[in-house]
Structure 1
Amino acid sequence: MRKLIFGAVAAGLMGAALPAGADVKAGVDAWSRGDFLKAVAEWRPLAIAGDADAQFNLAQAYKLGRGVPLDPGLAESWFRKAAVQGHLQAEDNYGLALFQSGKKTEALPWLEKSVARGEPRTQLVLGTMLFNGDGVARDYPRAYALMTRASASGLQSASQTLAQMDQYISPADREKGTALAQQYAAQTRMTPAPTGTRPRQTVANERPTAPSRQPAPQVAAAPPRPTVAQTTAASAPTRTTPPRATPAPATRPAPVAKPAPTPKAVAKAPPKPEPKPAAPSGNWRIQLGAFGTPGNAEALWNRIRGKLGGAQPYYVKAGTVTRLQAGGFGSKAAATRACAASGQPCVIVAP
């Protein structure tokens, strides 16, 4: 009985703390007019009182830095408060916020819930995680399926990522992924819309006005299979210091007098050749394209080889496609600089 009385008193105090006329929709209207300070003032007391729409909207304000300072941590906290109440948009944004802050294990169940509803942004993120094996077991067919669905929704970054995946995923995995994408599309069409809930009074998702703390997910290059030569070299012991050669004692020859040359006999020393740039040494590569005709790969290499400081070309066969790679870079940073110098869209290939 005491608990019931205390709960009633607390509810009364919470209701009394709300300013007269506080309204979520009034905040949305103010936001639409660009009056972000008024919007936040409308939402904050309602969010503290537990209104899920107000909590979601306040999280959006912190995420975008409008009406309040940009604060991803507070945005994540308010998204969570709304998400645990079943606010679907908040569930989507909470999973994405967890991923962006590096909490990938915590993000996974929320991303899965959003993906099941067909949310393109979470399909992009989870598809990338599945391809890279980042926080989850690698699954190429499902990664390809989710990226296909996100791309079909018109998400440009998903279309670009799908093109990168095409360079590494085998035809068999692509076929499985395409079939799985069709299943996902059918499931999304058959999922009924939630009923019995009031219309949401929320603001639209937008990109932050300031750069986020973590870049968008990127597909990492699939590790190339080692060749026989690479395997042998890796297993052979390496010598850390070269053996010192013991020079034989040199005898000084007796000086021989030579006649002084006449001025006409003096030959001009040949000009010193200009030093060539040292060839990169390392196992990192960059992939500059994939071609159905090998001659096109060679033509591209001849056109850009001078920009890559002595890098070596590699023509890697993948079924009917020839991949043009340039190698010998000692680090990922060096490979990234070479990508920029090439002037071509390219992908980093790890050793």
Structure 2
Amino acid sequence: MRYVIIGAGAVGATIGGRLYEAGHETVLVARGAHYTALRDRGLRLTLPERALALPVPVADHPEAVRLRPDDVLVLSVKSQDTVAALDAWAWQPVAGGGTAATRLPVVCAQNGVGNEAVALRRFRTVYGMCVWLPASYLEPGAVVASAAPLTGMLHLGRFPAAGGAADPVLRTIAADLENSGFAAPLPADVMAWKYAKLLSNLGNALEAVTGPVRGEAALGLLARARAEGEAVLAAAGIAHPDEAEEARVRDGLVTPQQIAGKPRQGGSSWQSLARGAGSIEADHLNGEIVLLGRTHGVRTPVNEVLQAVADDFARRGMRPGELSATRLTSLVRELSGS
């Protein structure tokens, strides 16, 4: 089995690098300066206990990868780039006949809860992955993954949930991940875990626009954003593990560490602004709560403001932390009328 990692950013490069290090055939797919650095110098992957230089094969477009029937496509682009990535890969030919969409499984290793349905419009076989993997990508060719003793916890499951035992392909993927430094549980419904992760991701936009989430104003906004999310999921009848269950399954397995000379500065949305990526995931995180709130009649002013402000930051090329939590609270007050 070969893993084709579509989107070799913080998450994709860490998964691909650790698979490659463990002896699993892997191809990273990247763009621009990141692709050039990976091609010329390999992947520089820093873990808490060591720094690795990994000559992982890399490609910069689908046509550069001759797809095989034993390939697994791991989609790890940001959610706003999902459609373009799927359009580029779905109809690529596979050796022996057929296309990627008809022959190969795709694993959505992404935040948000909407990517799997988008993938299922094109691919016959879709797996969801709930990603708990503290990592950062700020410099071309270099990724820092800060958790130990395991690099991450990656819940996996068929989409939609098929019930019963996991299929052989899914079990093989999980086994490969587990001998590459990850926990890879196989829950009956992986989307329940992804909805739980969605609630945790509602602070991503807040951190991106205001900086580290601390102080009364920022912590208050974070609590309100999550409370809105909980209310919306309850109204929609969407069950999910609670924070205590999430903490229990990760306890002692995936713990962020301080790495000398590599301070962790911010999460994925913060990193998007820091790199000047020009887009951010807020539409698929806070925006998912806004959508469900509007659908089920639940007001979500904090998430609505976070979505709008984060999108504006990305469009205008603003740097992380350029808005105070106090000002953000005022914007929420203006929207909510209270």
Tell whether the structures are fold-level matches, with TM greater than 0.5: no
Bin for the TM-score computed over the shorter chain: under 0.3
Structure number with higher strand proportion: 2
